[in-house]
Amino acid sequence: MSAIREIKDRMTGIQSTMKITKAMYMISSTKMNKAKQSLANTEPYFYSLQKVMLTILQSMPDNFHHPYLDERKYINQDNQRRAVICVTGDKGLAGAYNHNVLKMTEQMLKGFKNYKLYMVGEVGRQYFMRRHIPIEENFLYTAQNPTLPKARSMASKMLDLFENKKIDELYIVYTRMESSTQFAPDIEQLLPFYRLNRDVEVDGEQNMSYELEPSPKVLLDTVIPDYLAGYLYSCLVESYAAEHFARMQAMDSANKNGEDLLAQLSLQYNRQRQAQITQEITEVAAGAKARKQQLEKKRRRATCK
């Protein structure tokens, strides 16, 4: 009897857990679709901004210098100060989403002698604190609510650090959505802005020269902060979408495992119940037989008297 009660309690617990995982699956699905829509709404603007920036870079004179384009070749590689933005989630239960980014960041930091780590997400903050890896700043309330104003704030801070030569390079480690059903951790270098795209076609024209007004510096002072903010925003939104897609996969896997476990427990329950019923029937039959024999003995005694 106790075995049947145990199995039934386990089945009840699994069913309750599956209600939670199914609800989490639906919530993550809604949030992921919302994040994708937000990214799709802003992509046309930033694609146009990228074309404008490429046009400016192509049209600048070779001897032009700008603080944001300073490659700092005069600084030895071992002495360069690097900033790394690591984007994780605020919560777990998302499969390998957080683990992949954290391991990639940790491996990257091992190759840097002088670095500053900036965190987005509570999971990453706790991970590096447990390993006594110093965190320069934690951008709160950003992982679960990526917005363009927050991205602008981050971009402004990083550009100020770079312009004041407190950092020489800026990297971001995030999760990129390769397709609607695939994602992977990725590393991108954001600063300095190298002029490597001067031969890229812009609107079907190549190597077109434009006259820049009021000046290249003024244009870059305006375009680069917007461009960096847009890039950071897209990284944050892609990571947010990937997190919820990973959570959907994890919850779907949990639901399937729960259904399999329920099927196994249901089979065990039915077997235990059948064995109990068989035992009860056997006991009743044995009792009836014993009672019949007892009555037969009494009848015989009465006949002898």
Residue 305 — very low, low, confident or very high, per pLDDT cuts 50/70/90?
Answer: low
301: number of CA atoms within 13 Å, CB side? 6
HSE of 57, CA atoms in CB hemisphere, 13 A: 21
Report phi then psi at 136, rounded to 5. Answer: -70, -45
Look-up of token digits 């491996």:
107
**Three-class secondary structure of residue 221 per DSSP:** helix
Cα–Cα distances in angstroms (integers) from residue 78 to residues 29, 70, 81, in the given order: 45, 17, 9
Distance, in Å, from the CA atom of 123 to the CA atom of 100, rounded to the nearest integer, reads 12
pTM: 0.81
Query: Rounded to whole angstroms, how far apart are CA atoms 68 and 193?
Result: 6
> Nearest Cα to 191, choosing from 70, 53, 55, 65?
70
pLDDT digits (tens, 9 = 90+) for 278-301: 888 888 887 777 777 787 877 777
Could you tell me the two tokens for 197? 């795209």
Note the pLDDT of residue 57: 76
Q: Could you read off the pLDDT of 70-102 as tens digits, one per residue? A: 777 778 877 889 999 999 999 888 889 999 999
- What pLDDT score does 207 carry? 53
pLDDT, tens digit, 9 for 90 and up, residues 196-242 = 444 444 455 455 667 767 777 788 888 889 889 988 998 999 999 99
